A = this chain, B = another copy of it.
C-alpha cells in the first residue's frame, strides 16, 4: 500500500509514459504566435504528467515536424541554460511565448531536489566548472567538453562553489523532463513502438469506450515498462492517418480508446486530447493497489 502523501512526489513510475503527435498539429493555425502556444500546451501537458519522450510523426510536412521539435526542445531546456546551449535559429523567433514548464528540473528548489541541469563553461585535465543557473558554480572533478549540457548532483557546498558529480539523466528517480524524436511517417513510428515493446494506445472518438478496456488496461499498466499514446491531428483521425501511411492501425496498437464518454463537441483538438487522455491514464496508472 502506497501512502497517499507519497503520491504528491513526481517520481518516475512505470510504465514510463511517452506520446506521439502528428506534424499536422499546427496545420489548422495560421497565426505564428498561436502555433507556438499550441505547441506550448502540448509541452506543458507532457511536463504535468511526467512524460519521458514526445514523438513527432510527419503526416503533412517534415518542416512542421522540425518546427514542433525545435520549440519543444527549447521549452524543455531550463530557462537559465537556453542562451548558453541553444543555437540561434529562425524557428525559435517566437519561442519566448512558450509557456514556462516549471517542471522539476527547472525549479528544483520547489521539489527539494539537489540535482541541477548545467552547462560546462570551462574545463582542464583535473576539473570542470559547470554553470547551473545559481550564484555559485559547480566544480566537477572530471574533464568535460565545454558547452556540453550535463546533469549534476550537488554533494557539498563550499564558500564560492559547490562540489558536484555528473549523473546520467536516466538514473534519476525524480521526473527530469522529456526528450523528443521525429519519425518520417506514422508507419515508421508504429514499427518503432512495436519493435521496442511499448504498450501502444491510440486515442480516438471511434475507439472502444474507456470502460470497456479499463480492466485489461489497468493490468497492462502494471506489466509494461513503456507506454505510448498516439494522437491524431486536426484534419484526420489516427486510423485515417494510418491508412494514408499504408498500414492498418489495428496491427500496431493494443487499444484504440475513446476517453470522453458523451463528448459535447464534434471533435476534440489534439492539444486538448493530450491533457484529457494523460489525466485519465495517470489516474489509472498511479492508483495504489487495493
- Measuring CB to CB, which residues of chain A are less than 8 angstroms from any residue of chain B? 4, 7-11, 13, 33-34, 37, 41, 44-45, 47-50, 97, 99, 101-104, 107, 110-111, 175, 205, 208-212, 258-269, 272, 275-277, 279-280, 282-283, 286-288
Contacts and interface: CB of A to CB of B under 8 A. Distances in A.
Contact of A33 (B33, B107, B175, B211): B33
A47 B275 contact: no
A267 B262 CA distance: 29
A44 B260 contact: no
Contacts of A11: 262
Contact of A279 (B104, B111, B175, B280): B280
Contact of A99 (B260, B269, B276): B269
B275 A272 contact: yes
Contacts of A282: 260-262
In the complex, the count of this chain's copies comes to: 2
B48 A283 contact: no
Given A13-B262, A266-B110, A286-B261, A209 B48 contact: no
The interface centre, meaning the residue of A41, A48, A264, A267 with most chain B CB atoms within 10 A of its CB, is: A264
Given A266-B107, A279-B276, A211 B261 contact: no
Given A7-B209, A48-B268, A48-B272, A279 B262 contact: no
Contacts of A210: 283
A211 B8 CA distance: 12
A164 to B, nearest CB: 23
A48 B260 contact: yes
Nearest to A9: B262
A194 to B, nearest CB: 27
Nearest to A49: B264
Nearest to A34: B37
A110 B230 CA distance: 25
A211 B288 contact: yes
Closest 3 CB pairs of A and B: A261-B286, A50-B264, A102-B266
Given A276-B276, A276-B279, A283-B280, A44 B261 contact: no
